[in-house]
Structure 1
């Protein structure tokens, strides 16, 4: 092919600045910036470093990179930075080691265990919602974060943490998340080397979080729980089928810190956005309550999920329009062809569920919250257009856990309260390694006329 016949390179997203490219947009207003990328099809270049990175806005191309041609891609440079904090857990590992770890961890997320976890989720969410009071203004994002942490620790460690350890996790995980995101976006890789107050806080938070998790692992090795095993016990017992090897303490740590980060922040962000949308859409809230009310008093188990179709559609729609995930980066390990363009080995590609889920070529009126778009008689989303938990061999291992937790929480809260927006409060999205709402203050109103004490 002659130079004149070569296709034009992919367009560059608007707003590129000298030296820092699009990094400032991703730092200051990441959600708004990602929304602008839906105007491009199927690839758009963004600059987050010395070389362009290409955002895939087509579900077909994302499917190729994540599933059908996955062997041609590895995790991008951002994951190298994350390994300083998440180790070599499922979120950061790849290749044969990733497959081995996934096989070792998969039994812990078997449906029989999820069914047992679901009861704990429901009890924890019901107790949390019952602690709210009529007229109390609550920070919904913080409430969902604390609830998700309580759910995860009660299933991971089979008991609630004592307040000292719980407080350490509440303090340190957000600091580590913010620090990780800052480093991922730094195109120079210089900021992390400076003795700034933020870097010192990050190092201290990482050290303290490490101490807490090591303490919990050592305690579980020394004293396994009575009765049904918790998640941590299952990880410690997991054996490689071919070698009978178990995970080292370092491997268990890497997986536990990954579960703490992914299992707390992501679910909390998804739930906070869901209640924000219900506050803005009282008709959807009423329909959801009517479905929950008809099942009121029934024990929460996995069978009940099938009897709550509107609840499931509501969860799906919240995961679509306000997906709590961040961005995923893949690096080509060989020369590749995508979207009619040739890319050399080493080129990096980004995809974001937010970009796909809010793409007008995939969803009608994509920014509108509409649980009924998931009715069986509605047109199905194109393949790969709805991937709230990723795709391929790196799809989130905890998807069924997260869905059960979100459903249990929605049922527990909606059965007791309607969360109403506080007038005058402006809610905006914030991107760290996850997408969550800031300043989401809402007021609980009881579903019955009887006021709570």
Structure 2
């Protein structure tokens, strides 16, 4: 029974429509809708169709669902909708199979391995920055998406990737990303079955992406000699500790497409928002550049990255205020009690880092971009309030990779250029599988010489 201090059911978020629920709001103005939910504590009902799902705004409840009581919850329907595109990779699998796959994939993202990729990350970032000219206006979101895709494909497939395969991935992946989000938000589960031009483009792009990954795997398998520096070679060599078995062809394919999808948009969206905030906060931008100069970190190297304390706080603040993640759904597999309410088995719960990270109860002045809120002497953030990459057994396996990429690219680009907002251009957040800024046009200005 609910506690006496609570109504019999959680409040319902405003803007609910018949049949569609809040799906249209999440499609048309996702960030504004999610921002409005920080006013609720600790649970608010939302509808992605006729049935309610319950968004958790209390960090203690999120921690329970993702960590403490994780066995009482399974991945929700959004992951079921993603399975036709991602297969049964880490993003969609669960239970014993998920844990087995995670053990096989995890060594490829050990911090010692990540340091080997810093030079590749810095090289691609430097080449991208060198292609710009003083005064040029660039679409930063597009630039960061192309840069992240180049970094991910090169670290995944360093010995097998050729120009044709890279171009095919660049063409197909954005179509698949957008299509997946549309599929997740469809409250009827019918739209994807209609042969619309958009659905045909999605099916074609998905088929082309699968073919190119199969080609890359075959290419790398055909040349097994020597020590290979990429993630694909590590996945090919991985063996289960209990059975000694390698991944099947299907498992390997599913993990690779998952890493491609997750590793491209997350870092790209985070970097685009980071440069947006640096442009809006010139004092932060100047302080970051001064640290890069003082630490002799232009260009950055693996041994210099740990010294960039302020740059790291800038990355953390970008991940807080403009987290590129979307929403995550968990389904109760038993009857549960959360926040003084009882819910039946099958009820779905949502958490969003965007809601948690912009909650004024846990982050004073949440819309102020303040990297110093992460100084060690500041009040500790409550457990569960800052989850840029999730938590528990399903925490993003590539968190260290994504953080290192953001730090390396931010240092490389900011060491050479200042990206300045274009007057009169309205930037808004949009959601595909992640959150990223749309129409982020910025003018490239050379850095003045630092004394």
Unaligned regions of 5+ residues in structure 2, if any?
A: none
Distance in structure 2 (CA, Å) of the matches to 1:2 and 1:302: 53
Say whether the 8 Å CA contact 1:276–1:440 is kept in structure 2: yes
Aligned CA distance change for structure 1 residues 71 and 297 (closer, same or farther; 3 Å) = closer
SS at match of 2:8: coil
Alignment of 1:238-249 (within 5 A): 238-249=238-249
Say whether the 8 Å CA contact 2:126–2:412 is kept in structure 1: yes
Shift, 1:5, TM fit: 9.7
| 1:342-372 superposed Cα distances (whole Å, 9 cap, x missing partner) | 0000000000000000011111011111111
Distance in structure 1 (CA, Å) of the matches to 2:4 and 2:130: 69
Distance in structure 2 (CA, Å) of the matches to 1:219 and 1:256: 14
Shift, 1:19, TM fit: 1.6
Distance in structure 1 (CA, Å) of the matches to 2:302 and 2:354: 28
| 1:376-420 superposed Cα distances (whole Å, 9 cap, x missing partner) | 111121111001000001001111111111111011001100011
Aligned CA distance change for structure 1 residues 79 and 154 (closer, same or farther; 3 Å) = same
Q: Which residue of structure 2 aligns with residue 29 of structure 1?
A: 29
Shift, 1:306, TM fit: 2.2
Distance in structure 1 (CA, Å) of the matches to 2:297 and 2:310: 18
Q: Which residue of structure 2 aligns with residue 71 of structure 1?
A: 71
Q: Which residue of structure 1 aligns with residue 346 of structure 2?
A: 346
Q: Which residue of structure 2 aligns with residue 359 of structure 1?
A: 359
Q: How many residues align?
A: 450
Alignment of 1:313-324 (within 5 A): 313-324=313-324
Deviating beyond 6 angstroms after TM superposition, the runs of 4 or more aligned structure 1 residues are 2-6
Say whether the 8 Å CA contact 2:160–2:219 is kept in structure 1: no
The alignment's TM-score, normalised by the length of structure 2, stands at: 0.97
Aligned CA distance change for structure 1 residues 194 and 355 (closer, same or farther; 3 Å) = same
| 1:278-302 superposed Cα distances (whole Å, 9 cap, x missing partner) | 0000000000000011123577444
Q: Which residue of structure 1 aligns with residue 287 of structure 2?
A: 287
Unaligned regions of 5+ residues in structure 1, if any?
A: none
Which stretch shifts more, 143-152 or 64-73? 143-152
Say whether the 8 Å CA contact 2:311–2:407 is kept in structure 1: yes
The alignment's TM-score, normalised by the length of structure 1, stands at: 0.96
SS at match of 1:138: strand
Say whether the 8 Å CA contact 2:429–2:438 is kept in structure 1: yes
Alignment of 1:115-130 (within 5 A): 115-130=115-130
Distance in structure 2 (CA, Å) of the matches to 1:364 and 1:446: 34
Q: Which residue of structure 2 aligns with residue 178 of structure 1?
A: 178
Q: Which residue of structure 2 aligns with residue 409 of structure 1?
A: 409
Q: Which residue of structure 2 aligns with residue 426 of structure 1?
A: 426
Shift, 1:225, TM fit: 6.8
Say whether the 8 Å CA contact 1:331–1:349 is kept in structure 2: yes
Say whether the 8 Å CA contact 2:10–2:43 is kept in structure 1: yes
Backbone CA RMSD of aligned residues: 1.8
Which stretch shifts more, 277-286 or 119-128? 119-128
Say whether the 8 Å CA contact 1:420–1:445 is kept in structure 2: yes
Q: Which residue of structure 1 aligns with residue 391 of structure 2?
A: 391
Distance in structure 2 (CA, Å) of the matches to 1:3 and 1:96: 36
Shift, 1:444, TM fit: 1.1
Q: Does 1:196 align with 2:196?
A: yes
Say whether the 8 Å CA contact 2:320–2:388 is kept in structure 1: yes
Aligned CA distance change for structure 1 residues 74 and 142 (closer, same or farther; 3 Å) = same
Shift, 1:179, TM fit: 1.0
Which stretch shifts more, 44-53 or 65-74? 44-53
Distance in structure 2 (CA, Å) of the matches to 1:415 and 1:289: 6
Q: Which residue of structure 2 aligns with residue 206 of structure 1?
A: 206
Aligned CA distance change for structure 1 residues 96 and 423 (closer, same or farther; 3 Å) = same
Shift, 1:2, TM fit: 10
Q: Which residue of structure 2 aligns with residue 148 of structure 1?
A: 148
SS at match of 1:306: helix
Say whether the 8 Å CA contact 1:296–1:415 is kept in structure 2: no
Shift, 1:123, TM fit: 1.7
Shift, 1:187, TM fit: 1.1
Shift, 1:224, TM fit: 3.7
Say whether the 8 Å CA contact 2:21–2:47 is kept in structure 1: yes
